[in-house]
Amino acid sequence: MATKIGIDISLRNFPAGCSARRTNKSSNVQRVTIVKCSVNLNSNGTAAALVERPWKPFDARLVLEDGSVWKAKSFGASGTKVGEVVFNTSLTGYQEIITDPSYAGQFVLMTCPQIGNTGINLDDEESKQCHPGGMIIRSLSISTSNWRAIGNISDHLAANDMMGIYDVDTRAITRRLRQDGSLRGVLSTENSKTSEELVEMAHTFSINGVDSISGVSCTAPYEWVDKTGSEWEFNNKGSDDKSFDVVAYDFGIKHNILRRLASYGCKITVVPSTWPASETLKMKPDGVLFSNGPGDPSAVPYAVETVKEMLGKVPVFGICMGHQLLGQALGGKTFKMKFGHHGGNHPVRNLQNGRVEISAQNHNYAVDPASLPEGIEVTHVNLNDGSCAGLAFPALSVMSLQYHPEASPGPHDSDLVFREFIHLMEQGKTNA
């Protein structure tokens, strides 16, 4: 229905759903006649859509160790937290990312320009809580729209004591991190703290040389039975009829690793990071999994010792932190990368079959292949920078990946590696 009213408005701010005809041409405020209007009119005749939004003022800061201060708006928890800033290039999967224990001690900056539109659901948790100290995003979605959603990201972060900031130039911060490497930083909503104090706080923080896995590992063994849903069973139809007993070391284990192992027919006992190798061997498992986990792999020599004691006695599979521990147990060394790999689109060449897999990755440290003794095979290479992405030592039934074959939401190119672990365990049973 055409409603004719005269109203002074700026054409640049003309509301969606309306069209108008210009009736005079003065400066930048125009006299127009609205010929179609589908927005609500306020009682005084002004269009409701024109009422200025109550934009939140900047109320948070990210201060980096290089002294730069980034003004932002806060969501989630408030307060002051220190951590290492890393950027993640994934376009989807923010709930999996914030519940991944490997992010403990870090702030994750999402390069995807808008976050939050699918809210939070009950299925996508990688653990029972949020682990990064904070999340840094460009734009916080103003609405949540997903059939699975039970809440919004802001409330979820607040309930999990995780800070969030938005309306900050994430591209500029990412370029800084690409140039200078991962930087330590402080997120704060507290005006009473000066930026100088926050820079100082950033300088006192360290993730290198610190055992970060003991804070996220379980404290007692437990059984895991849940599988992934039927839509995941693209590689492992029929593997259910065989059963393998697996002990999974929890260095900060992601639930989807456990779900994928269960789907491939494994009965899993999850054990703490400090669980003695002798106890594991007494359990007579068919295989042992060393999980992902946060922080510096060279700072947890006790875990490397545990891995070492198991070599040659049972087939083993390491994922991410587990891969780095295996690399050290085999005699190699790890090093810190400039800004690491965090994203869902890393190309990896599987050197065993020549196939390129697109993978999800999340690590700041890597195994130096030059440090490995002769006979250890590098099985996978990251095609972005040539770094070592997988190892094998068939003589000791060892296999490992630096990245995430279980990745949820994906990509799923590397899921078949779970079948390779099953084969390794089958061979182990045959040779026993």
Look up 406 and say whether it is catalytic: yes
Q: Is 364 in the site for ligand GLN (CB under 6 A)?
A: yes
| Contact call for residues 324 and 366 (beta carbons, < 8 A) | yes
| Contact call for residues 333 and 385 (beta carbons, < 8 A) | no
Q: Given the complex with ligand GLN, which of 189 and 334 has the nearer CB atom?
A: 334
CB of 203 to ligand GLN, least distance (A): 21
Q: What is the 3-state secondary structure (H, E, C) of 83-135?
A: EEEEEECCCCCHHHHHCCHHHCCEEEEECCCEECCCCECCCCCCCCCCCCCEE
Look up 231 and say whether it is catalytic: no
- Tell me which DSSP letter residue 277 carries: H
CB of 407 to ligand GLN, least distance (A): 11
Strand partners, 343: 361
Q: Which is the catalytic residue, given 84, 125, 126, 406? A: 406
Q: Given the complex with ligand GLN, which of 258 and 320 has the nearer CB atom?
A: 320
Q: Is 188 in the site for ligand GLN (CB under 6 A)?
A: no
Strand partners, 146: none
In the structure encoding, which two tokens stand for residue 111, read together? 């390069």
Q: Which is the catalytic residue, given 341, 380, 404, 412? A: 404
CB of 60 to ligand GLN, least distance (A): 26
Where in 199-332 does DSSP place strands (E)? Answer: 222-224, 244-250, 266-272, 287-290, 316-319
CB of 55 to ligand GLN, least distance (A): 37
* C-alpha pair distances (Å), 390 with each of 165, 260, 382: 35, 19, 9
Q: By CB under 6 A, how many residues form the interface with ligand GLN?
A: 12
CB of 52 to ligand GLN, least distance (A): 44
Strand partners, 135: 108, 164
CB of 402 to ligand GLN, least distance (A): 8
Options 220-228, 241-249, 256-264, 293-301: segment touching ligand GLN (CB under 6 A): 293-301
Options 34-42, 172-180, 289-297, 309-317: segment touching ligand GLN (CB under 6 A): 289-297
Q: Is 294 in the site for ligand GLN (CB under 6 A)?
A: yes
Residue written as tokens 């059963």?
243
Q: Is 320 in the site for ligand GLN (CB under 6 A)?
A: yes
Q: Given the complex with ligand GLN, which of 325 and 425 has the nearer CB atom?
A: 325
Q: Which is the catalytic residue, given 320, 380, 388, 412? A: 320
CB of 211 to ligand GLN, least distance (A): 11
CB of 121 to ligand GLN, least distance (A): 22
Helical packing angle, 321-329 and 301-310, nearest 10°: 70
Hey, which residues between 99 and 128 contact ligand GLN (CB under 6 A)? 102
Q: Is 362 in the site for ligand GLN (CB under 6 A)?
A: yes
Question: What is the per-residue binding string for ligand GLN in 193-232, x denoting contact by CB under 6 A?
Answer: ----------------------------------------
Q: 363, 390, 412, 414: which one contacts ligand GLN (CB under 6 A)?
A: 363
| Contact call for residues 166 and 72 (beta carbons, < 8 A) | yes
Residue 374's contacts (CB-CB under 8 Å, 6 or more residues apart) are none
Options 175-183, 190-198, 286-294, 375-383: segment touching ligand GLN (CB under 6 A): 286-294
Quickly count helices (H) and strands (E) in the chain.
Answer: 9, 22
CB of 391 to ligand GLN, least distance (A): 14
Q: Is 88 in the site for ligand GLN (CB under 6 A)?
A: no
Instruction: Give the up-direction half-sphere exposure of residue 310: CA atoms within 13 A in the CB hemisphere.
Output: 35
- Tell me which DSSP letter residue 370 carries: G
Q: Given the complex with ligand GLN, which of 364 and 382 has the nearer CB atom?
A: 364
Other Cβ atoms within 10 Å of 15 Cβ, number: 15
* 294: amino acid identity, one letter: P
Q: Is 365 in the site for ligand GLN (CB under 6 A)?
A: yes
Quick one: the chain helix, strand, coil %, rounded to 5? Answer: 25, 35, 45
Options 43-51, 356-364, 388-396, 408-416: segment touching ligand GLN (CB under 6 A): 356-364
Options 134-142, 180-188, 238-246, 360-368: segment touching ligand GLN (CB under 6 A): 360-368
Q: 186, 321, 392, 407: which one contacts ligand GLN (CB under 6 A)?
A: 321
How, if at all, do strands 60-64 and 69-76 pair? antiparallel
Q: Is 408 in the site for ligand GLN (CB under 6 A)?
A: no
| Contact call for residues 245 and 280 (beta carbons, < 8 A) | no
| Contact call for residues 73 and 59 (beta carbons, < 8 A) | yes
Look up 190 and say whether it is catalytic: no
Residue written as tokens 């060892």?
398
Catalytic residue list? 320, 404, 406
What is the contact surface with ligand GLN in residues (CB under 6 A)?
Answer: 102, 292-295, 297, 320-321, 362-365
